[in-house]
Amino acid sequence: MKKNISYYIAVLFLVTSLSGCNDFGDMNTDPESITAESMDYTLEFTNVQMYCYGTEYEAWRNGMIYCSTMLQHTASTESYWNGDKYTYSAGYNSAYWDRMYPNGIRNVIDLLENWDGNETYYAEYQMARIMKVLLFHRMTDMYGDCPYSEAGQGYYEANGYPAYDTQEDIYTDMLNELKEAATNLATASSSIGSADIIYGGDCELWQKFAYSLMLRLSMRLSKVDETTAKTWVATAVSGGLFESNDDNAKVEHPEASTSNNSCEPFGKIYCHEDPDAYRMSESFVNLLKSTSDPRLRLLCTVVEDPSLKIGSGNWQMGDTTAASQLGMPNGYDETTGTSSSTYLPNAPNYPGSKNDYSVVNRYTYARIDAPTFLVTYAENQLLLAEAAYRGWISGSAEDYYNAGVTAAMKQFNQFDDGLAPGDTEIANYLDQNPYNASTALKQINTQYYINTFSDEYETFANWRRSGYPELETVSYVGNVTNGTIPRRFTYPTSESSVNSSHYKEAVARLTNGDKMTSRVWWDVE
């Protein structure tokens, strides 16, 4: 399902400013102006979906500079790519918060306020509730306690200093929101059509999306509250999850360009905004090579000059053969000098040039028109494999695992038909790497790690929850974590002065203060 979203870019700044307007009565009757009464809120619906798949601003900072390198999907020698070496940037830590609260979150709250009780948009109201959960589950997973019940209410409740809800309370409400929205969608119909760039107004698919997202959130509680996790997993399964890759919650970007923000944010950074700043991580490439994973050729490529941007005359697709792929180790630089242990040319197996290391495959993820995957069938199946292994649901953990791996490989057909490994190749991979109950959690969550490449917020969250894959840490001079992979992002520095009392209450609930080494509620040791 390909949808043209370029038209909706024009409403981005319009709808983000709408909820801040005051009511001046008869003075505000300019027929050429847009008021809450004349606003077409289906445009704001599309706008919220754009924030659900993200913008390059926070994707670049939180997603790539931090998450992707911390979790060793990629590596970087650049000093401003802080995650590779666990160094600190206040602005990059707070990027998702800074972008989403005044935009995506404010807009979805505005949408819900205006559609609440409106029977014309009954189905769309449920869809907006699901999008609100998607935005907030990322927010709380990244930061912990955060404004939730009072968020986005500056206009409606005259509250510019929202309290921070506890993550436990946020998760309780998000799960209930998903259940209610999914239940209500069972008998609903929608006329929103192409303004819904995810499912085109298909209520049945939205219902599956709600339950599939519920499964993700349920499993997030596996370390902190198994009883509640098990209960909600059962609710998600009985409600009805994705049944194939055709159901994947994703956004396609068929008319994306480098001149605007109407494109897949990670893909645009890989191929245009910062193409030479990163390489594929050695640990990730070696993981794929060690199991003869056919996805290696679909994730990596080696190009002569990675600094060239898409659209340039010499843009190269490169060599995607598995044997040519080489990952760059994390924790190195190109500035400390020849005597330094962190100087890249001193790294073991240095190939002679940084350009000999792999970058992201330009047929798949390093495309500005690459689809953005929000929640997938493959993720569902792998989480069900873990739930079955834990005895929380019926069914074979091995069968779920095999289905998850197969779906993850077949998912590459959603970039272009025919890209995915064939049935025989997938079967051979599963034969060579069979499910093993004694290492089930490691296998399942390592596959999840591979499948969530370019959904780095989810990679970061599930690694903290599961502990897999087991990653070698780096110890770089100036790191702020004592050489350990960070566990959360820090709040914006402005919160300590602008929303001081609520900020201090939230920080007091963190065992180690507002630091990257503190753990969110569900991430218990």
What confidence category does residue 261 fall into, taking pLDDT thresholds of 50, 70 and 90? low
Q: Give CA–CA dist 318/321, Å, rounded.
A: 9
Evaluate whether 225 touches 15 at the Cβ level (below 8 Å): no
In this structure, the dihedral spanned by the alpha carbons of residues 274, 456, 328 and 263, taken in order and rounded to 10 degrees, is -30
List the single range of 58-67, 92-101, 259-268, 478-487 with lowest mean pLDDT: 259-268
DSSP-derived secondary structure letter, 295: T
What confidence category does residue 8 fall into, taking pLDDT thresholds of 50, 70 and 90? very low
pLDDT at 313: 81
493 has a pLDDT exceeding 80: yes
Helix (H) or strand (E) holding 51, with range, is helix 41-53
**Average pLDDT of the residues in 448-474:** 98
Q: Give CA–CA dist 89/103, Å, rounded.
A: 22
**Average pLDDT of the residues in 79-90:** 98
Over residues 397-410, the pLDDT tens digits come to 999 999 999 999 99
* Tokens, residue 383: 């989480």
pLDDT at 37: 63
32 has a pLDDT exceeding 50: no
Helix, strand, coil percentages in the chain from 3-state DSSP, rounded to 5: 50, 5, 45
* Upstream peptide bond of 469 is cis (omega within 30 degrees of 0): yes
The conformational region for residue 72 under phi > 0 = left, psi -120 to 50 = alpha, else beta, is left
Q: Give CA–CA dist 375/508, Å, rounded.
A: 33
Q: Which residue has the higher pLDDT, 369 or 1?
A: 369
What confidence category does residue 155 fall into, taking pLDDT thresholds of 50, 70 and 90? low
Q: Could you tell me which residues come within 8 angstroms of residue 382 by beta carbon, excluding any fewer than 6 positions away?
A: 400, 401, 404, 405, 408, 444, 445, 447, 448, 451
Over residues 227-239, the pLDDT tens digits come to 999 999 999 999 9
The alpha carbons of the chain give a radius of gyration, in whole angstroms, of 23
DSSP secondary structure string, 173-242? Answer: HHHHHHHHHHHHHTT-----GGG-TTTTT-HHHHHHHHHHHHHHHHHTTTTT-HHHHHHHHHHHHHH---
Helix (H, G, I), strand (E, B) or coil at 133: helix
214 has a pLDDT exceeding 90: yes
What confidence category does residue 314 fall into, taking pLDDT thresholds of 50, 70 and 90? confident
* CB hemisphere CA count around 105 (13 angstroms): 24
14 has a pLDDT exceeding 70: no
Q: Give CA–CA dist 360/256, Å, rounded.
A: 18
State in Å, rounded, how far the first CA of the chain is from the last one: 42
pLDDT at 30: 43
pLDDT at 153: 78
Q: Give CA–CA dist 262/437, Å, rounded.
A: 44
Alpha helices in 291-347 (DSSP H): 296-299
pLDDT at 15: 40
pTM for the full predicted model: 0.93
16 has a pLDDT exceeding 50: no
* CB hemisphere CA count around 496 (13 angstroms): 10
What confidence category does residue 38 fall into, taking pLDDT thresholds of 50, 70 and 90? low
* Tokens, residue 466: 């599961």
Q: Give CA–CA dist 401/95, Å, rounded.
A: 35
DSSP-derived secondary structure letter, 279: E
171 has a pLDDT exceeding 70: yes
pLDDT at 197: 96
pLDDT at 524: 97
Q: Which residue has the higher pLDDT, 38 or 381?
A: 381
Task: Tokens 């100036």: give the residue.
Answer: 478
pLDDT at 127: 98
pLDDT at 102: 95
490 has a pLDDT exceeding 80: yes
pLDDT at 39: 74
Over residues 354-365, the pLDDT tens digits come to 999 999 999 999
Q: Which residue has the higher pLDDT, 61 or 161?
A: 61
**Of 418, 378, 416, which Cα lies nearest the Cα of 400?**
378
In this structure, the dihedral spanned by the alpha carbons of residues 149, 152, 157 and 160, taken in order and rounded to 10 degrees, is 100
Q: Which residue has the higher pLDDT, 89 or 157?
A: 89
Backbone phi and psi for residue 155, each to the nearest 5 degrees, phi listed first:
-85, -45
**Average pLDDT of the residues in 478-507:** 97
10 has a pLDDT exceeding 70: no
Report the share of the chain in percent with pLDDT over 70: 91
6 has a pLDDT exceeding 70: no
Q: Give CA–CA dist 399/215, Å, rounded.
A: 18
Alpha helices in 71-202 (DSSP H): 90-93, 95-100, 106-115, 122-143, 167-185
pLDDT at 53: 94
